[in-house]
Amino acid sequence: MKGIEAERRKRGNMFWTAFAVLFLAGLVMAMPAQALPGGSYSKTCKDCMDDGQELVCQCSYKGKFSGTSIYYGLCESGSVTNTRSKLTCTAKGSFRRSCKDISWNASRLQAVCKTKKGKWNGTVLSSWSSCESDIANCDGALTCGGCK
């Protein structure tokens, strides 16, 4: 009798263990994947991954795929494109109207911006990603929060 009871308990435990594993697997599969940033790049790029700040893809140009990435926090919504196997976008912020040669990474934004006298000035804004308002060109200098 003890052997039969032990066998029943063993089968019962196996059933509930299998049930729990399948239930958890179903939950994981039902979780939605994080949406990738919008843009036309999705037509010519593959194997894209997003960690919440940086988009990393394999993008094609003339039939060859190359690895590329972009920190998209500064991108206008839906503006990420594949430009010759390099991810690019339209930067958001009023500074873009009077700055050129704009580039950035996770912690540093740099550009060449026009001064009030019409001259071009190289400028850097560190920690741009912590700006919660407009990034502006204030007399040739990038600033967070507009000009004073």
3-class DSSP string for 30-88:
HCCCCCCCCCHHHHCEEEEEECCCEEEEEEEECCEEEEEEEEHHHECCCCCEECCCCEE
> pLDDT digit of tens for each residue in the chain (148 aa)?
566 666 666 665 666 665 555 555 554 444 445 688 899 999 999 999 998 889 999 999 999 999 999 998 888 889 999 999 999 998 889 999 999 999 888 789 999 999 999 999 999 999 887 888 899 999 999 999 888 8
Whether residue 60 is found in the same domain as residue 111: no
Separate counts of helices (H) and strands (E) for the chain: 1, 10
pTM value > 0.75 = no
Whether residue 42 is found in the same domain as residue 73: yes
Kindly tell me the sign of the dihedral angle through the C-alpha atoms of 138, 142, 146, 148. Answer: negative
Query: Total structural domains in the chain?
Result: 3
Whether residue 114 is found in the same domain as residue 141: yes
Whether residue 101 is found in the same domain as residue 81: no
CA distance 54 to 40: 17
Mark which of 73, 90, 107 sits at the end of a domain: 90
Whether residue 44 is found in the same domain as residue 75: yes
Whether residue 100 is found in the same domain as residue 114: yes
Whether residue 49 is found in the same domain as residue 79: yes
Q: Nearest CA to 44 among 91, 100, 85? A: 85
CATH number at residue 136: 2.30.60.10
Whether residue 63 is found in the same domain as residue 106: no
Tens digit of pLDDT for each residue in 106-147? 789 999 999 999 999 999 999 887 888 899 999 999 999 888
Mark which of 42, 65, 90 sits at the end of a domain: 90
Q: What integer pLDDT is reported at residue 92 of this predicted model?
A: 86
Whether residue 47 is found in the same domain as residue 76: yes
Domain span at residue 103 reads: 93-148
